[in-house]
Structure 1
Amino acid sequence: MKPILSLFSLLAIFLFSCNNQKSKITESQNSSVVIEAKQSKNLSSNSKKDTVYVNYGDNKVILDLLPLLPDAAFRDFKWTKNERQQLVEDVKKNGYYIDRDSFHLNLIYAQPNTIGYSVIDGFWEMTIYKCADNSYLVIANTITGDDNSLNVFNYRNGVLKSAENQTAIFGDFRKELMIPGAKDCAARLKELRGPIFDYNFRNLNQVEIESALYLTKEKYQNCLKGNTLVYQFIPTEKKFKLKKVYWKEKK
């Protein structure tokens, strides 16, 4: 009987280990998920509602900022202040809101420092950076086609104001890419009509600015230091400083 008992013991340990590991994975996944979506039928059999769950307590600052943004922060699409206010009130009261037009505006992610929506012809996101004096630097980024449009604000004690210098947030980052003294570098970039750059605001206190696919190391290593820049936010100075420039592989 001992071999049989031993076999059953090993099987039990194996099953317990698998279930325990599965529980850990599920717990880990749930802890990182801020938004959930489920489909539910409306009272009308011809329509459906999208119920979007958002944790208001975890995302309070970034949600409270939505109604304060001016219309200029929503380039190329319309999202009224009343609509934004209602969304925040619903989330605050119920822990969710009803998305009745996901084609026009669809929540992709919400985190304490950033929120992103897909829109009809592009993407819109807002990211906040906490400063040492408990104010915030706020960046709204609209992506349509091959273009990025940044709007920068300062937020303190419930008051949102446009930053005085909208273009100085990352300085002349294109110049930072160039190798000093490299021949014909500016001319080559000019031929491209200004390389397109994507901004990645998802990492806390760090921004990555990446060039388009055609700025590869093979073609431009004698002209550029890299095709991607990493900026670190300095809370005490309320600004970004260049951390590194490197070549990111293009696929």
Structure 2
Amino acid sequence: MRTHYALLLNCLVLFASCNSSATDQQGKKGDSLHTTIESAAAPNNTLQTAATRAAYSKIIKIDYQKNKEILDILPLLPDSAMATWEWKKEEREGMVRSLADNNQFADTTENFNTITKLTPNYFETSVVDGYWTASLYKVSENHYIVITNDVQGDGYKINAFEVKDQQITALSLDNLIGANPGNLLLKNNSEKCKSVISEEEMGMFTYNLSNPNLISISCYYLTKKANSDCFKGNEVILKFNKNLKRFDFIKVDWRNFKQ
């Protein structure tokens, strides 16, 4: 009988020991799994932080000598020529200096101040919700008329300057192209016809200043079919007169705008 009790007691002890061992193993396995999740999350967060901190930089290559005249004008322009956005003189100087040395510069402002068109007489960059342009009209060597156009949303601000031997002077736009060039479109000077267009209305006229000799001023609101009773056309063409340093009227015509 004692032998049976002893045998039964040994079995109970062995069962308890096995159960305790299994419980310990489950606990250790649970702790190990929890640690793995935590350590896996840490590198992911670290990568996200590193990506967030990474600075944008893109090398833009430009032939400096080919576009020297327009590029060298940019640092001379006053801040008022780009009043709706900020492009500091120091930044412009740095860009031109880098282009002069290496024909390239580092663009560090993604989706802001992105050059979209560049010719020896014309510079265009996209900014915020619009674009900004600078145009050269050459009078003689180291002597230019410069017109800037700051286009934002539905409005624009045009400024004019004379640059001679690196000295810049503000000019009256009215003296260059006339006070209300849009009025040149009118065929009928009645109040009814005049009320259709207004130089004061934002977005009414579009100025194309990319040609080195011509300026196009157009109004896409006007069509030949709907407005020929009042207007001779929807586009005015002016030509640069370097002797008088102004733009002379050439013609009015109807232009077909793509819808």
Which TM-score bucket, shorter chain as reference?
A: 0.7 to 0.9
The worse-fitting range, judged by mean Cα deviation, of 97-106 and 127-136 is: 127-136
Contact 1:106 1:117 in 2 (8 A): yes
Residue 181 of structure 1 and its aligned partner are, at CA, apart by 4.3
Counterpart amino acid of residue 123 in structure 1:
Y
Distance 1:48 1:186 in 2: 50
- Check if 1:94 corresponds to 2:134: no
Contact 2:156 2:202 in 1 (8 A): no
- Check if 1:49 corresponds to 2:39: no
Distance 2:114 2:248 in 1: 32
TM-score, scaled to structure 2: 0.74
Residue 157 of structure 1 and its aligned partner are, at CA, apart by 0.7
- Check if 1:104 corresponds to 2:112: yes
Contact 1:129 1:138 in 2 (8 A): yes
Distance 2:183 2:189 in 1: 12
Contact 2:130 2:153 in 1 (8 A): yes
Match of 1:240 among 215, 230, 247: 247
Runs of 5+ unmatched residues, structure 2: 1-49
Residue 243 of structure 1 and its aligned partner are, at CA, apart by 0.8
Identity across the alignment (%): 30
Higher strand share: 1
- Secondary structure at 2:177 match in 1: coil
Runs of 5+ unmatched residues, structure 1: 1-43
Larger Rg over CA atoms: 2
Question: Counterpart in 2 of 1:225?
Answer: 232
Q: C-alpha root-mean-square deviation of aligned residues, in Å?
A: 2.0
Contact 1:148 1:198 in 2 (8 A): no
Distance 1:73 1:158 in 2: 17
- Secondary structure at 1:223 match in 2: coil
Distance 2:89 2:80 in 1: 12
Change beyond 3 A, Cα 1:58–1:193: closer
Higher helix share: 2
Contact 1:210 1:227 in 2 (8 A): yes
Question: Counterpart in 1 of 2:68?
Answer: 60
- Check if 1:147 corresponds to 2:155: yes
Residue 107 of structure 1 and its aligned partner are, at CA, apart by 0.7
Q: Per-residue CA shift, 1:44-85, capped at 9, x if unaligned?
A: 874552111111111112111111111100121001011111
Distance 1:74 1:183 in 2: 35
- Check if 1:209 corresponds to 2:217: yes
Question: Counterpart in 2 of 1:11?
Answer: none
Counterpart amino acid of residue 80 in structure 1:
K
Distance 2:145 2:58 in 1: 32
Distance 1:135 1:110 in 2: 20
- Secondary structure at 1:115 match in 2: strand
What pairs with 1:170-185 in structure 2 (closer than 5 Å)? 170-171=177-178, 172-182=180-190, 184-185=192-193
Question: Counterpart in 2 of 1:118?
Answer: 126
Q: Per-residue CA shift, 1:188-226, capped at 9, x if unaligned?
A: 336x947611111122211111113x2111111000111
Contact 1:116 1:126 in 2 (8 A): yes
Distance 1:158 1:239 in 2: 20
Counterpart amino acid of residue 152 in structure 1:
A
- Check if 1:131 corresponds to 2:127: no
